[in-house]
Amino acid sequence: MRTINAIFVERVRSRSFGEVMMRVLNAIDIRLERQRSRRDLLELTDEQLKDIGLSRSQAHEEAYRPLWD
């Protein structure tokens, strides 16, 4: 019987370098888009923020969350 670690290593090795790079680049792209969306909250008026259920301080907190969060 194989262990979980052996199965994981086998799966990682079966991927090509290109596949791994595409996954990494995709993950970076998703995080950058999320960060842009969070920063867009700062452009909304207080009324618009209220419509989506956020206060100005919540929008500020969200906008400056770390990239990896």
Please write the tens of the pLDDT for every residue from 48-63. 999 999 999 999 999 9
In a domain, 50, yes or no: yes
In a domain, 25, yes or no: yes
Helical ranges in 2-67 per DSSP H: 4-14, 17-40, 46-51, 56-63
Give, to the nearest 10 degrees, the angle between helix 17-40 and helix 56-63: 160
In a domain, 54, yes or no: yes
Per-residue model confidence (pLDDT) at position 10 = 63
Is 15 a residue whose pLDDT tops 90? no
In a domain, 58, yes or no: yes
Reported as a single tens digit per residue, the pLDDT across 16-45 is 888 989 999 999 999 999 999 999 999 999
Domain carrying residue 51 = 16-63
Per-residue model confidence (pLDDT) at position 9 = 63
In a domain, 6, yes or no: no
Per-residue model confidence (pLDDT) at position 67 = 79
d(CA 20, CA 14): 10
Per-residue model confidence (pLDDT) at position 68 = 77
In a domain, 47, yes or no: yes
In a domain, 30, yes or no: yes
Structurally, the chain folds into a number of domains equal to 1
In a domain, 44, yes or no: yes
